[in-house]
Amino acid sequence: MHRQAQPIFPALRAFLARAGGMAALAAILAGALALAPARPAQAADIYRYKDPFGVWRAMKVPTGHAKYYKRAQARAAWRSGVKVCMACEPKSGDGARLATLEPASRALQWGDAKVPTAHDGLIARAAQDSGVDQALLTAVIAIESGFRSDARSPKGALGLMQLMPATAASLLAVDDIETALVDPATNVKAGSRHLRRLIDQYPGRLDLALAAYNAGEGAVRKYDAVPPYAETQAYVRDVTALYERYKTP
């Protein structure tokens, strides 16, 4: 029995030697992987820009792509007629002092300028049908689109009253919402109905109705007030100021 077991030990030693070698190799490989530098994350640039309301923002874009974003923003600004210095460096307080930046100048611009009359008829009809003051509709259109029926925001809002297709879907019984919103009469009709609903939802609080039109009902519900968003606060202020000017004989 003892002599028969002898051949087993050399085989066992050989196996353990091979196993030890494999373990050593595995340990070496594991150490090399641990010491190797981690795979770098995808490179990105920080693209700083001014939005149409004069607020400086920043976003990550793929390396080398910032120039394409700048060109796209320049085209959007040119189409909308909003003059924003996209090359200027941000100044201390930009955004925090939004009341002194672009939105105020828009209200002053339309308050002092002659209001375009091309859409007066359809605005008057929409005001009569919805029960929204024509002066208020005119003020909203001035701030939203500058009276451009082909206006399109970077977020996809369309037309004179800058309606999002998702919002307009519940107001229009059409298949192609985007095409319908480009039509001035359809856009103002839907926009005035939407604004009427918001005014009824916040009776006696035009500021909340305008805030909901700009930032959404969820934002107003969250804060139970005009949301503390610079854009929304400027929007409410500017529309209200223009409304007072337009309704004054």
Active site residues: 144
| Phi, psi (rounded to 5 degrees) for 90 | -65, 145
| Cβ partners under 8 Å of residue 115, min gap 6 | 138, 142, 147, 246
* 149/147 Cα distance (integer angstroms): 6
* 228/235 Cα distance (integer angstroms): 12
Question: Based on the number of CB atoms within 10 Å of its own CB, is 11 exposed (0-12), middle (13-18) or buried (19 or more)?
Answer: exposed
* Cross-strand partners of 62: 44
| Amino acid of residue 217 | E
- 138-141 CB contacts, 8 Å cutoff, 24+ apart: 138/242, 138/246, 139/239, 139/240, 139/242, 139/243, 139/245, 139/246, 140/191, 140/195, 140/210, 140/213, 140/239, 141/188
* 44/201 Cα distance (integer angstroms): 44
Residue 115 DSSP symbol? P
Q: Are 47 and 59 in contact (CB under 8 A)?
A: yes
